[in-house]
Homo-oligomer: A and B are copies of this chain.
């Protein structure tokens, strides 16, 4: 039972669609949806503009495809939280994993940031649907831990928000972070230490 949603793509289709999405990720994350042009995407992908539109019907479709394809990667670390694990370790692992995503996939982070800033025109139903359900499950786990006295009393929704905010900040506002720190700093390495300290202090009972 392999995934047959997109009925078999040819070798060329597979390669070129991938190239386009890769180029589009660079373009969209650098300039936002309206700021990026199909020509930019085409050049980054090494294809002609009409050829890009041969594989994806419109600029919008490329954008939508990118966003939905990336959502899973973005949400995966939250799913990895194990209700049977040690509460503090689980949260700290989540923070660490999310920070690594920011470090290794800043373009993806910025893509989402643009989308949410814009008012999430493409993700609106997902935010209030799948994402909200996923968060609710995680909130339930956290609430149980707190009830059992294994985690300090904090509001679980906002705990999650704070993890998102703090980790994504280092990708989305990287320019600012680097400018303020000046040269000779490794923002992500420092953030790792700082955030572990922060959440440890806040969540230890």
Contacts and interface: CB of A to CB of B under 8 A. Distances in A.
Size range of the interface on A?
A: 35 or more
Contact of A114 (B117, B132, B181, B198): B117
A191 interface: yes
B177 A161 contact: yes
A69 interface: no
Nearest to A132: B180
| Nearest 8 interchain pairs by C-beta | A165-B169, A127-B179, A158-B194, A34-B35, A128-B179, A165-B165, A201-B202, A120-B175
B155 A30 contact: no
Contact of A158 (B120, B124, B191): B191
Nearest to A32: B32
Number of copies: 2
A128 to B, nearest CB: 4
Contacts of A155: 190, 193-194
Nearest to A176: B116
A175 B116 contact: yes
B173 A116 contact: yes
19 contacts: A30-B119, A31-B34, A32-B35, A113-B113, A113-B117, A113-B173, A116-B176, A117-B117, A127-B176, A131-B176, A132-B182, A155-B190, A157-B190, A158-B191, A161-B169, A162-B194, A162-B195, A162-B198, A165-B173
The winner among A30, A131, A173, A182 for most chain B CB atoms within 10 A is: A173
A172 interface: yes
B117 A172 contact: yes
A98 interface: no
